[in-house]
Amino acid sequence: MGFRINVSGADSSDAPADVVPADDYTCLCRSVKQVESKSGSRYISTVWKVTEGEYEGASIFGLFFFEGSDENFRERNKALMAKLLEACSLNLDVDSDRLVGRKCVLTVTIEPAKDGYAEKNWVTNYKPVTKSYKAGPKMAAPSKTGVRHGGPPEPKRPDTPAPASVAEEDSPLATDADLPDGEPPFDGSGEETPRDDDSLVHLI
């Protein structure tokens, strides 16, 4: 006879984040949480969902550390948060709930596995959505000699005017179809405890 499995109330979105290739991804902010580590320091965890391209639906975590003894590290994290808020067309003094449902472009790198921990993504930049960013193979640069591989030289093409720059628009808000059902997911690694007693602004 089998045994009963009951995981009622669990959210599969709390599973470890996907590891996606280093690239730019248009993403939707699903949640913003204030977290306390085992050491007692607090940081901000943001959860993002890739909204287009080959990795649509993948989860990416963006972390911000405003506490600790390294002042330069704290200032770099504050500057990165400022870039995120500006990319989402928000003021630098804002309630964290205003981020949820916003879209922007995340520049993602990969941190190699070390000290027994698996490799993971790390967000190094946030940019406004001014065009479609779809991760994929990059095209090779054209030959500087103007010679096709295995063929005669290419004919010289007339100069064409550069395209008009794309005007920066406000960060788009999510549609009902983009937003997850119920409470947005949280990075449930088992080592942190969410804190809801302080606001995002108090940390900065």
One-character DSSP codes across 11-33? -GGGSPPP---SEEEEEEEEEEE
Q: What is the pLDDT of residues 72-118, one digit of tens each?
A: 999 999 999 999 999 999 999 999 999 999 999 999 999 998 888 88
How many Cβ atoms are within 10 Å of 78's Cβ, its own excluded? Answer: 15
Q: What is the pLDDT of residues 138-187, one digit of tens each?
A: 444 444 444 344 445 555 555 555 444 434 445 555 544 454 444 444 34
pLDDT-based confidence at residue 202 (cuts at 50, 70, 90): very low
pLDDT at 6: 61
Say which CATH architecture domain 14-136+167-203 belongs to: Beta Barrel (2.40)
Rounded Cα distance between 18 and 121, Å, is: 8
> In whole angstroms, how far apart are CA 41 and each of 36, 38, 44, 61, 191?
6, 8, 11, 18, 12
pLDDT at 68: 83
Count of residues in the chain? 204
Q: Does the pTM exceed 0.75? A: no
Domain boundaries, the chain: 14-136+167-203
Are the CB atoms for 51 and 63 separated by under 8 Å? Answer: no
Token pair, residue 143, equals 């030959």
Token pair, residue 8, equals 């009622």
